[in-house]
Structure 1
Amino acid sequence: MKEKLHRCLSCLMAIVLLLSTTSFKVEKHYCMGHLVDVAFFVDAQDCGMDMPLGDDMSASVEKSSCCASEVIAMEGQNDVKPSFNDFQLDQKMFLVAYTYAYIGLFEPLAKRKQTYAQYHPPKIVENIQLLDQVFLI
């Protein structure tokens, strides 16, 4: 039970570390108010109805596009590298002793040899203390 709990917690911590350091983005493209494309980690494809912004358009004519894009981006951490230069001598000694003791927990235990594995006790037919009339007072 303890071993399974230890494995579950270590997997959970690994997943949390992975999710906190990974960057991702979700991009959605809407055309006329309807969702056209959703893309994870890449750019969403447009519907081809975007209005080009060229020199031929006059500045006085403002036309709004029927398309819209929504981007949800999450930046991950980049400074996760541990620094071992800040440890002092007593902290290093404790870390070494703790690691050695922790690794010792996983060594297999020696099995005891059962000397009476095939022995079956006799069946008691009558109470011997009552037959001999020996009582503890």
Structure 2
Amino acid sequence: MSSLLAIVVLFSTMSFAIDMHYCGDILVETAVFQKVEGCGMEMQNPQTKECSITKKSCCTDEQLVIDGQDDLQLSLDTISFEQHIFITSFVYTYISLFENLEENVTLYTKYNPPLVVKDIFKLDETYLI
């Protein structure tokens, strides 16, 4: 249970960015935690001052930043009594789900099967003619 809580705290406080590269209106590439490489159609800036004509590039880069929580406060005073009961019963039933049996219990070892006098499957057969 504590590892689950640690994972929840980790992902709620973690920040990350998603970079997207559009060529025109079409999404070409996405990247998480790194910059996108692009599609190779970006326009190069001219090295000389003689070329004064500039054309707008069809490619755009967008970045979506998802910020995590900065302040994490857990106060047990704000939890009601009914929530306490629910949490304790949930934890108790969750832990008891994974308890292993010490040995394989077979409840039918002393059970004698009934004696078969007639073939029951033959009594219930129907034939389409």
Same fold (TM over 0.5): no
> What TM-score do the two structures reach when normalised by structure 1?
0.42
TM-score where L is the length of structure 2 = 0.44
Larger radius of gyration: 1
